[in-house]
Amino acid sequence: MEKIPILRMGEFLLVTIQVDMHDRLAMTLQDDLTNRISQTGAKGVLIDISSLEIVDSFIGRMLGNIASTSRVLDAETVVVGMQPAVAITLVELGMSLEGVRTALNVDAGMELLRKSVNGHEESEYGSYFQ
Amino acid sequence: MATTLNHKTSNLGAIITQNRDAILNGWLRDMIGSTRRSDLMKESELQAQCHQFLSLLTQATTKNTNIQATAYDPLREMLGEISRTRAIQGFSARETATFIFSIKQSLFGAIRETLGKDSAAMADEMWLTTEIIDALGLYTAEAYIKTREDTIRRQQEEMLELSTPVVKLWEGILALPLIGTLDSARTQIVMESLLEGIVQTNSKVAIIDITGVPTVDTVVAQHLLKTVTAARLMGADCIISGVRPQIAQTIVHLGINLLDVTTKATLSDAFSLAIQRSGFKLVRPQKKESVEH
């Protein structure tokens, strides 16, 4: 069965969506991710959707759900690289993804995660990559 | 009934063929009297158009009397082309339509010559001819108006493009000065160009300046909020600046909730906030010295 890979980078989990999301794939991702967070005790999840060009309300809700679930498991979620067309579609669908944090690209997203996990004093590239 | 109509129609084609030169000369003469615009169009060009029109009309009327029929396709195509070029050349709608209507007199003359003895047949033929020519004239006018409308639409689109410039103010800071009323079509373009700009310049802060927006009602406010939300989804912060006192009052009176959005009174306030948020600091060197003394 098709699966979206979840990579571990130190304390964070990295998910890159590079195929068109269909509903079953989204459900699988949600399950897998929740399991991985609890297994690894990850502090943050970064979802890169820069290759995602088509969204519907289901995918939008899935992103919101992933963020909420992760928060319950004590992990921050950052969605990065959303395409303009995707952002417009989500807004037109009335989904502003209130609970989800966003960043322009993976770099900015990682920075955001580090800040939120470590507090502001340790925003330099750092201690996880020894 | 249909057979009689067709019968009459084939007569018209024959009449035109027989009296072609007389009709053509009469038509050109009438046009010179009424709608000739030698400043906009050459004599030879007009003659060529008349020739072509007569031949196509002859072909079409021998087959059918309904100008929507396929037999009239080449004729309608030609009239459409004539209307388009005349609209561009600067003819008025009236002048363009009269090009067709002015054929009537000479055409009726030809019909009278041919069918003068049979008054019933002549009346029928004239009625048919009037119907066809009127329909063609209206079609020409319609095509003319359509051309003008296309021009207006194109200009509107160009204006939309022109009126939404996205400017880069600083490393990672974009500004979008809005001028004019915001409607849904414009907001869509504003939103798209802002989001594209955010991606291209990798900006974290975007300032939407509404100094040039004359009124803010609930619809405009909703559009602004949508844009802000879309930018947030992409990972950029939005600041709305240039809120004039009256507009601030209107917003409060209308009960619009802008609490989730950062608003500033002037673009410069918004810019300094944006500088701060991006982690920059603006320092004036001379002032530093004077403090040290």
CATH of the domain at A64: 3.30.750.24
Residues B146 and B217 in one domain: no
For residue B162, tell me if it sits in a domain. Answer: no
Going through chain A in order, the beta strands assigned E by DSSP cover 6-9, 12-16, 44-48, 76-80, 101-103
Alpha carbon distance B217, B262 (integer Å): 18
- Residue B131 sits in a domain of what CATH number? 1.10.490
Q: Which of B157, B191, B213 is the last residue of a domain?
A: B157
Q: Which of B113, B137, B157 is the last residue of a domain?
A: B157
Structure confidence at residue A130 (pLDDT): 32
Structure confidence at residue A30 (pLDDT): 92
A15-19, A57-61, B211-215: the lowest-pLDDT one: B211-215
User: What residues contact B7, with CB distance under 8 A and at least 6 apart?
Assistant: none
What's the whole-model pTM score? 0.60
Region of A94 (left: φ > 0; alpha: ψ -120 to 50; beta: rest) is left
Structure confidence at residue A120 (pLDDT): 43
pLDDT tens string B213-270: 888 888 888 888 889 999 999 999 999 999 888 888 888 888 888 888 899 989 999 9
Residue B15 has pLDDT above 60, yes or no: yes
Report which DSSP code applies to A44: E
Q: Domain containing B101: what range?
A: 2-157
Q: Using 50, 70 and 90 to split pLDDT, how confident is the model at B5?
A: very low
Residue B7 has pLDDT above 60, yes or no: no
User: Which residue of A96, A101, A107, A112 to mutate against B (max B Cβ within 10 Å)?
Assistant: A96
Residues B147 and B7 in one domain: yes
For residue A118, tell me if it sits in a domain. Answer: yes
Q: Using 50, 70 and 90 to split pLDDT, how confident is the model at A126?
A: very low
Structure confidence at residue B3 (pLDDT): 42
Structure confidence at residue B238 (pLDDT): 92
With contact defined as beta carbons under 8 Å apart, do B207 and B271 qualify?
yes
Q: Which of B157, B187, B202 is the last residue of a domain?
A: B157
Closest CA to A109 of B267, B74, B235: B235
- Whole-number Cα distances in Å, A30 to A8, A34, A53, A80: 16, 6, 19, 17
- Computed from CA positions of residues B181, B186, B189, B195, in that sequence, does the dihedral angle turn out positive or negative? positive
Structure confidence at residue B288 (pLDDT): 54
User: What residues contact B13, with CB distance under 8 A and at least 6 apart?
Assistant: B58, B59, B61, B62
Residue ranges of chain B whose CB lies within 8 Å of a chain A CB: 188, 191-192, 195-196, 198-199, 202-204, 226, 229-236
Start-to-end C-alpha separation, chain B = 109
Structure confidence at residue B251 (pLDDT): 85
Q: What is the mean pLDDT of residues A52-73?
A: 90
- Whole-number Cα distances in Å, B215 to B40, B73, B175, B178, B210: 44, 49, 20, 12, 9
Mean residue pLDDT of chain A comes to: 86
For residue A1, tell me if it sits in a domain. Answer: no
Q: What are phi and psi of B168, to 5 degrees?
A: -90, 120
Min distance B223 CA to chain A CA atoms (Å): 10
What b-and-e string marks burial along B252-288, b requiring 16 or more CB atoms within 10 Å of the CB? eeeebebeebbbbeebeebbebbbeeeeeeeeeeeee
Structure confidence at residue B16 (pLDDT): 82
For residue A76, tell me if it sits in a domain. Answer: yes
User: What residues contact B268, with CB distance under 8 A and at least 6 apart?
Assistant: none
Structure confidence at residue B293 (pLDDT): 53
Contact A91 B195 (CB under 8 A): no
Compare A11 and B2 and report the one with higher pLDDT. Answer: A11
For residue A74, tell me if it sits in a domain. Answer: yes
With contact defined as beta carbons under 8 Å apart, do A62 and A30 qualify?
yes
The three-class DSSP label of residue B96 is helix
Contact B233 A108 (CB under 8 A): no
Residues B213 and B245 in one domain: yes
ipTM above 0.90, yes or no: no
**B195 chain-A contacts, CB cut-off 8 A:** 84, 87-88
For residue A103, tell me if it sits in a domain. Answer: yes
Residues B238 and B134 in one domain: no
For residue A101, tell me if it sits in a domain. Answer: yes
- Residue B212 sits in a domain of what CATH number? 3.30.750.24
Residues B12 and B81 in one domain: yes
- Chain A, nearest residue to B184 by Cα: A92
Nearest to A91 among B196, B198, B226 (CB): B226
Q: What is the mean pLDDT of residues A76-81?
A: 93
Closest CA to B23 of B146, B127, B110, B128: B110
Closest CA to A99 of A61, A73, A53: A61
Length of chain B: 293
Split into its structural domains, chain B has a count of 2
Residues B88 and B173 in one domain: no
Mean residue pLDDT of chain B comes to: 83
For residue A127, tell me if it sits in a domain. Answer: no
Q: Using 50, 70 and 90 to split pLDDT, how confident is the model at B12?
A: confident
Structure confidence at residue B282 (pLDDT): 85
Q: What is the mean pLDDT of residues B277-286?
A: 86
Contact A80 B198 (CB under 8 A): no
Start-to-end C-alpha separation, chain A = 36
Report which DSSP code applies to B41: S
Structure confidence at residue B267 (pLDDT): 92
pLDDT tens string B129-174: 888 889 888 999 899 999 889 989 998 888 777 667 889 999 899 9
A124 touches chain B (CB under 8 A): no
With contact defined as beta carbons under 8 Å apart, do A77 and A39 qualify?
no
Residues B117 and B8 in one domain: yes
Token pair belonging to B90? 């600067």
Structure confidence at residue B8 (pLDDT): 46
Specify which of A44-48, B124-128, B217-221 reaches the highest per-range mean pLDDT.
A44-48
Token pair belonging to B197? 């700009």
A106 touches chain B (CB under 8 A): no
Residue B230: Cβ within 10 Å count: 27
Is A99 exposed, middle or buried (CB count within 10 Å of its CB: 0-12, 13-18, 19+)?
middle
Q: Domain containing A53: what range?
A: 6-122
Split into its structural domains, chain A has a count of 1
Residue B194 has pLDDT above 60, yes or no: yes
pLDDT tens string B77-103: 888 888 888 888 888 888 888 888 888
Token pair belonging to B95? 């002048």
- Whole-number Cα distances in Å, A109 to A80, B98, B270, B287: 6, 68, 24, 37
